[in-house]
Amino acid sequence: NRYGWRIPFLLSFFIGVVGFITQCKMEDSPEFNFASKSQQIIRNPLNKAVRKYWRQILLITIVVSPWSAGFYACFLWLPTYLENEHEPAVEHAFIANSFMLIWVCCCVLFGGYLSDKFSFYKVMMVSSFLLAFTSLPCYLMVEVLTDNGQTYPLILAQTVIGLFLGCYGGPMQSFMVNCIDDVVVRYCVVGVGYNICQALFGGTAPIISTVLAQVSLALVGLYVALLTLCAFVTLF
């Protein structure tokens, strides 16, 4: 009978309207206008994207995986686990997580700022390296220090992971767009790669984390760290 959780979903309607109006008024890039005038636009861009640019799709899937799995595990699954499954329960995990989501949003903006200043490649390399080597200690800290249901270990872990995850996610859009020069299928390639990643790593993060947490919460951090190392090596 509770309705509070529906309020953000209703408010998102207005965000959708703003996005629709912005998209309608936004001018196409000169490259796309040239392709359109020279009749290079094709009827089925998905077919060309999968056949010709499957390597770029795979690249995007691998590089985006730390963002997908890392965010779902730390900011969606972890507070739910601590408040509902952990013994003793961390009573204020959801409240703390609400504020920490604002922190992640700020970190994403900060990552975008750093990307403009130093290039998206450098920012993603540094942030992925730091995320890979802090994920395991952060989850281990949460496991060790929440024996009495304290909230501060969650806040500390989300502060550190959120900083590096946000700095990684901020420039990620620029990375995906720069993966392919063909403006005719660019966003099709980006969309396929990103959504495959969300399905494979984001959608499965809660169940994988739950299974790993039966052994040790630190294994969840190890899982995120391994995905991040794979992305770091791929970027390198």
- Distance, CA of 190 to CA of 203 (rounded, Å): 18
Spans of the chain, pLDDT less than 50? none
One-character DSSP codes across 15-61: HHHHHHHHHHHSPPPHHHHHHHHTT---S-HHHHHHHH-HHHHHHHH
- Distance, CA of 105 to CA of 111 (rounded, Å): 10
The confidence score (pLDDT) of residue 33 equals 64
Write the pLDDT tens digit of every residue in 65-95: 999 999 999 999 999 998 888 888 888 888 8
- Distance, CA of 68 to CA of 29 (rounded, Å): 29
The confidence score (pLDDT) of residue 52 equals 85
Alpha-helical regions (H) of 146-203: 152-169, 172-178, 186-197
- Distance, CA of 103 to CA of 199 (rounded, Å): 25
Q: Give backbone dihedrals phi and psi of 2, rounded to 5 degrees, phi first.
A: -80, 145
String of b and e for 149-177 (b: at least 16 CB within 10 Å)? ebbebbbebbebbbbbbbbbbbbbebbbe
Handedness of CA 35, 36, 42, 45 (dihedral sign): positive
The confidence score (pLDDT) of residue 87 equals 82
The confidence score (pLDDT) of residue 32 equals 67
- Distance, CA of 100 to CA of 103 (rounded, Å): 5
The confidence score (pLDDT) of residue 1 equals 59
Cβ 221 vs Cβ 140: under 8 Å? yes
Q: What predicted TM-score, i.e. pTM, was given to this entire model?
A: 0.84
